[in-house]
């Protein structure tokens, strides 16, 4: 190795030591290596979007049309068995559609950038289309189910104050977990199997 090669090797080692001495993480930009693809929405994707937006409007209509008929104090918290364990002012019911809307819109925006998601396998030019399609569809299912869950809480709260039911019901927690984890598990397995 010539004098220039030895000098360059020393410089690289010296730079590496300096970088480690400052405790700054080594920067490697995986996101820029992933292809950016504009996905075309399938019929399933369009249907999920329409169902999601329709559900957002429905939960707002449900809460606004029932708001004036609610008593001053309503249930605002339920335990794992679906029984009421907290009360608050009737204005609290408006937080349900508000949170659902914020989550839905936030996930809709995030879903436009699938190349920045975390994936269980490496994303390559060969598998990017399948990986992005599966990941964005998972987000569409989840955001729709989130709105459904918040809508059910609003509905059950209204029914509870009207004396039509007591709490959310024992079915609510298993239903919620199923709506979240069944599609999550299905799509994560699909993402792992999609290597090409």
Q: What percent of the chain has pLDDT over 70?
A: 83
How much is the pLDDT for 166? 85
Token pair 């480690």 in the structure block, residue: 20
32 within a domain of the structure (yes/no): no
13 within a domain of the structure (yes/no): no
- The model's pTM: 0.77
Report the number of distinct structural domains present in the chain. 1
142 within a domain of the structure (yes/no): yes
Residue 86 domain boundaries: 39-193
Q: What are phi and psi of 25, to 5 degrees?
A: -65, 145
Would you say residue 195 has pLDDT above 90? no
* pLDDT, tens digit, 9 for 90 and up, residues 58-82: 999 999 999 999 999 999 999 888 8
14 within a domain of the structure (yes/no): no
Alpha-carbon distances of 124 from 41, 112, 127, 179, rounded to whole Å? 21, 18, 5, 30
25 within a domain of the structure (yes/no): no
2 within a domain of the structure (yes/no): no
How much is the pLDDT for 33? 79
43 within a domain of the structure (yes/no): yes
How much is the pLDDT for 196? 57
50 within a domain of the structure (yes/no): yes
How much is the pLDDT for 19? 43
Task: Return mean pLDDT, the chain.
Answer: 84
Alpha-carbon distances of 172 from 1, 31, 103, 169, 189, rounded to whole Å? 71, 39, 20, 6, 26
* pLDDT, tens digit, 9 for 90 and up, residues 119-171: 888 888 888 898 999 999 999 999 999 999 999 999 999 999 998 988 888 89
* pLDDT, tens digit, 9 for 90 and up, residues 39-54: 999 999 999 999 999 9
């Amino acid at each position: 190795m010539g004098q220039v090669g030895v000098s360059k090797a020393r410089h690289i080692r010296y730079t590496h030591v300096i970088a480690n001495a400052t405790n700054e993480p080594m920067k490697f930009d995986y996101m820029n290596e992933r292809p950016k693809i504009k996905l075309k929405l399938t019929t399933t994707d369009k249907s999920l979007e329409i169902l999601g937006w329709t559900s957002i409007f429905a939960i707002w209509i449900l809460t606004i049309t029932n708001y004036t008929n609610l008593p001053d104090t309503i249930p605002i918290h339920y335990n794992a068995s679906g029984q009421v364990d907290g009360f608050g002012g009737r204005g609290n019911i408006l937080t349900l559609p508000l949170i659902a809307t914020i989550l839905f819109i936030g996930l809709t925006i995030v879903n436009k950038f699938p190349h920045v998601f975390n994936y269980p396998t490496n994303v390559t030019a060969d598998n990017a289309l399948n990986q992005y399609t599966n990941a964005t569809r998972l987000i569409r299912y989840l955001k729709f189910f989130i709105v459904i869950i918040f809508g059910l809480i609003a509905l059950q709260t209204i029914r509870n104050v009207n004396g039509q039911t007591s709490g959310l019901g024992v079915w609510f927690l298993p239903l919620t977990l199923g709506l979240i984890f069944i599609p999550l598990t299905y799509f994560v397995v699909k993402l792992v199997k999609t290597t090409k």
